[in-house]
Amino acid sequence: MSIVDTSDNWLERIKKRESRVRLASAFLALVLVFVGVGIVLLSYIVVRHGMEYLAKIFQVNPDSAYAVIGVAGLSGLAASAVTYFLLRRKHELELKEISSLISKMKRIESDEQPGTSNSRQEPTGYSITGDAISLADKIVTLLPQLARKRDGDSLLFGIVALILALLLTGNLGAAVVVGVAVWLYFRYETRKSYDQEITKFEEQRRILDQRKQDFLETL
């Protein structure tokens, strides 16, 4: 498998992981803002009317209770949407350079294929080979750096799993067990995938270094 194929596959996995990160972050923002705004509004009610009024709010003034839930819910949804789109923008900017490099590398590989109609009509093709080596060198340097940033995502998934388990079961102990299990699982999978891809890249880097040497000897 070539550097381009390995890089393209790894980039697709990063994109899928980032999509899950955006959804998990949006959910976490919704929960945190909903709870935070709810606490602020309920604290205001306690200050104004006392704890007894709060305990009987659904009986005394249900409109106030529904208003608190509505405001907290809308605030949570707004925070969730903002979080999702800001993260999507951030992720797109992070992957813009590596995506561009891989696309250029694909075009060069296509041009170098024998018999293609878009191959360049140059005597030796040295400029094409030089471009390919330069791009490949950037890819094998940049992509592992981007992948390394994904190591912290497992903690986010664990927290989201804990919250979901707590909402579904109402049991804090069970929710903690689920959260820790999810965190450990994704941390293991992330590190395993990273180590496997790094091994492939190290082999391809050795091949690339040899290509560099061969190319320099032709100049």
Residue 14 pLDDT level (bands cut at 50, 70, 90)? confident
Whole-angstrom Cα distance, residue 35 to residue 166? 14
Residue 168 pLDDT level (bands cut at 50, 70, 90)? very high
3-state secondary structure the chain: CCHHHHHHHHHHHHHHHHHHHHHHHHHHHHHHHHHHHHHHHHHHHHHHHCHHHHHCHHHHCHHHHHHHHHHHHHHHHHHHHHHHHHHHHHHHHHHHHHHHHHHHHHHHHHHHCCCCCCCCCCCCCHHHHHHHHHHHHHHHHHHHHHHHHHHHHHHHHHHHHHHHHHHHHCCHHHHHHHHHHHHHHHHHHHHHHHHHHHHHHHHHHHHHHHHHHHHHHHC
**The predicted structure's pLDDT at residue 71:** 92
Dihedral angle over CA of 211, 214, 218, 219, nearest 10? 70
pLDDT in tens, 84-107: 999 999 999 988 888 888 888 877
Report CA torsion sign: 87, 92, 97, 103.
Answer: positive
For the chain, which residues make up each domain, given as ranges?
A: 3-218
Long-range contacts of 161-165 (CB under 8 A, 24+ apart): 163/27, 163/28, 163/31
Cβ atoms within 10 Å of 79's Cβ, excluding its own: 20
Cα 196 versus chain centre, distance? 19
Cβ atoms within 10 Å of 210's Cβ, excluding its own: 10
pLDDT in tens, 22-40: 999 999 999 999 999 989 9
Closest CA relative to residue 182, chosen from 165, 203, 206: 165
Tokens of 106: 């694909």
Q: Please say whether the beta carbons of 140 and 204 come within 8 A.
A: yes
**The predicted structure's pLDDT at residue 45:** 79
Tokens of 151: 């190591």
136-163 average pLDDT score: 84
Tokens 């405001």 belong to residue: 71
Whole-angstrom Cα distance, residue 11 to residue 42? 46
Q: Please say whether the beta carbons of 94 and 51 come within 8 A.
A: no
0.85 surpassed by pTM: no
